[in-house]
């Protein structure tokens, strides 16, 4: 699909989208369309109980007086609430309607409402962002009923009065959207296609963007003492990997920001085998790793002025004769010993070594890990918020603020020494489960034991890394790509020199 900007005076074809504020206040392009059609826009709005509320849409087919095949009037809501996110949602609403038609082109002619701080070129860029995010599809494995899923729309145009400024505003957003798409693709891939070595191979292709990508295999990780990570993968025929991605966009002496991702490419539960229904969807248990690689791609593509490192521990958790057993004790890279009482609490074992490696090798300003870690976080927060845990109030607040801006919402949960007693082992430094109480907190408390005087945040994205039903407007697929926009916004707001 082609995405481009055109002059506001251009004559569109195909579908045309105009905007109306709450109270049926027509913006300039909508008022012009109403005049050109002899008042057809206002008559259609009156007949449809349209009030301009955000998300409302009225469609006028073959409007007389216009050369377009259909005119879409989209509600923008109240002007004081109209912002970048509202623009994205409006564009996604209109594009979603057109995707179900035979249209091959769509043009957006939505002006900046009076009193809104969002400048015209920025508005245009976010309209493009909403349209692009909505356009995502993962259909490469379909061989039947293709007509029901075939993407007929080929061209998306946003009309603007300042082409150069709109293109400039769009450039970083385009880089981020490509990072989101990469993360979604990885989460959506079937596990027989995307296993640790294939994930690592795809990471290596990003070297064309200027990223330095290094892959450590089993032998190299054994030398480093990464027995917690390796224990998870020892029951699989697929070799475990550690992917390290570096971006050098800041000053040479600046410490990097660091992102660590859980990359369990398939999680059967190991010998603590999941139920059949519980195993479905476990191809997405590498959603944290997908977010990290998507973020690194975005930073490189927009040439972010920061030094950044992404570390992803890649494993399959499978139950063969060589698999890790409940009651095994492993020695992590940090030297701490772990009694493994449940092999389905595997993500924290992968992260334990990946976090320690990241701190030892790169001495980062901070380290943020992302993981589809616990079902308990879904019980607590549902599918609307990711869980946020941190040892640093400043970092936690910055993450929460970034999440609000891009609508990747976080909710901070507590940490504290009182929870440590739940991790006490009779024979090792700790056990890998804390019991039925406070499951997400004890998992985070476990991870904190592998943080060595570094500002750290843990994002449990089990409830937001994928979605059943594909219902969210900007996320038209099972894989969400959650975390890419959040981390990019965090970096852009606070860590670029």
* Centroid of chain to Cα 192: 23
Q: Which residues of 385-404 are buried (b: 16+ CB within 10 A; e: fewer)?
A: bbbbbbbeeebbebbbebbe
**Structure-block tokens of residue 344:** 């389905």
Q: Which residues of 273-312 are buried (b: 16+ CB within 10 A; e: fewer)?
A: ebeeeeeeebbbbbbbbbbbbbbbbbbbbbebebbbbbbb
Token pair 């660590």 in the structure block, residue: 260
Q: Classify the phi-psi angles of 245: left when phi > 0, otherwise alpha if psi is within -120 to 50, otherwise beta.
A: beta
Length of the chain: 497
- For residues 180 and 132, the answer to whether their CB atoms sit within 8 Å is no
**Distance, CA of 194 to CA of 201 (rounded, Å):** 10
**Structure-block tokens of residue 406:** 């891009």
Give yes or no: 348 in active site.
Answer: yes
**Structure-block tokens of residue 53:** 């509320």
Catalytic residue among 297, 348, 431, 449: 348
Catalytic residue among 274, 404, 407, 412: 274
Query: Within 13 A of 424's CA, how many CA atoms are on the CB side?
Result: 7
Planar angle of CA 50, 51, 57, nearest 5 degrees = 50
Give yes or no: 222 in active site.
Answer: no
- Residue 455 DSSP symbol: E
**Hey, which residues are catalytic here?**
274, 348
């Amino acid at each position: 699909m082609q995405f481009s900007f055109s002059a506001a005076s251009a004559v569109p074809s195909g579908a045309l989208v105009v905007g109306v504020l709450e109270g049926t206040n027509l913006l300039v392009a909508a008022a012009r369309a109403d005049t050109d059609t002899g008042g057809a826009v206002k008559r259609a709005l009156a007949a449809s109980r349209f009030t301009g509320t955000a998300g409302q849409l009225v469609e006028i087919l073959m409007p007389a007086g216009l050369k377009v095949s259909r005119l879409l009037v989209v509600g923008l809501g109240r002007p004081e609430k109209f912002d970048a996110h509202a623009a994205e949602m409006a564009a996604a609403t209109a594009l979603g309607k057109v995707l179900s038609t035979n249209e091959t082109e769509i043009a957006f002619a939505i002006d900046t409402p009076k009193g809104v701080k969002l400048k015209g070129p920025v508005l245009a860029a976010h309209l493009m962002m909403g349209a692009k995010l909505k356009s995502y599809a993962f259909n490469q494995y379909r061989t039947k009923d293709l007509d029901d899923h075939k993407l007929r729309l080929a061209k998306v145009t946003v009309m603007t009065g300042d082409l150069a400024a709109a293109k400039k505003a769009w450039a970083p957003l385009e880089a981020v959207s490509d990072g989101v798409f990469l993360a979604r693709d990885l989460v959506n891939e079937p596990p027989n296609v995307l296993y640790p070595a294939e994930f690592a191979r795809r990471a290596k292709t990003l070297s064309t963007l200027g990223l330095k990508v290094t892959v450590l295999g089993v032998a190299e990780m054994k030398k480093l003492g990464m027995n917690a990570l390796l224990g998870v993968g020892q029951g699989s025929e697929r070799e475990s990997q550690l992917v390290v991605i570096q971006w050098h966009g800041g000053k040479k002496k600046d410490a990097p920001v660091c992102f660590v991702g859980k990359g369990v490419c398939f999680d059967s539960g190991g010998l603590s085998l999941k139920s059949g229904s519980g195993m479905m969807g476990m191809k997405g248990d590498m959603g944290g790793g997908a977010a990290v690689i998507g973020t690194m791609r975005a930073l490189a593509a927009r040439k972010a002025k920061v030094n950044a490192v992404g570390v992803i521990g890649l494993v399959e958790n499978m139950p063969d004769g060589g698999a890790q057993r409940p009651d095994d004790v492993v020695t992590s890279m940090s030297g701490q010993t772990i009694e493994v009482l449940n092999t389905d609490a595997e993500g924290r074992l992968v992260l334990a070594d990946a976090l320690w490696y990241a701190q030892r090798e790169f001495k980062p300003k901070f380290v943020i890990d992302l993981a589809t870690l616990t079902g308990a976080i879904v019980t607590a927060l549902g599918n609307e918020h990711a869980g946020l845990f941190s040892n640093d109030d400043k970092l936690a607040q910055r993450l929460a603020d970034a999440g609000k801006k891009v609508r990747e919402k976080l909710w901070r949960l507590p940490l504290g020494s009182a929870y440590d007693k739940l991790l006490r082992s009779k024979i090792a430094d700790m056990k890998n489960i804390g019991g039925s109480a406070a499951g997400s907190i004890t998992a985070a408390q476990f991870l904190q034991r592998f943080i060595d005087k570094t500002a750290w945040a843990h994002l449990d994205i089990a409830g937001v890394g994928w979605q059943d039903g594909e219902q969210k407007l900007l996320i038209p697929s099972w894989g969400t790509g959650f975390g890419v926009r959040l981390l990019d916004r965090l970096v852009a707001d606070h860590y670029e020199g």
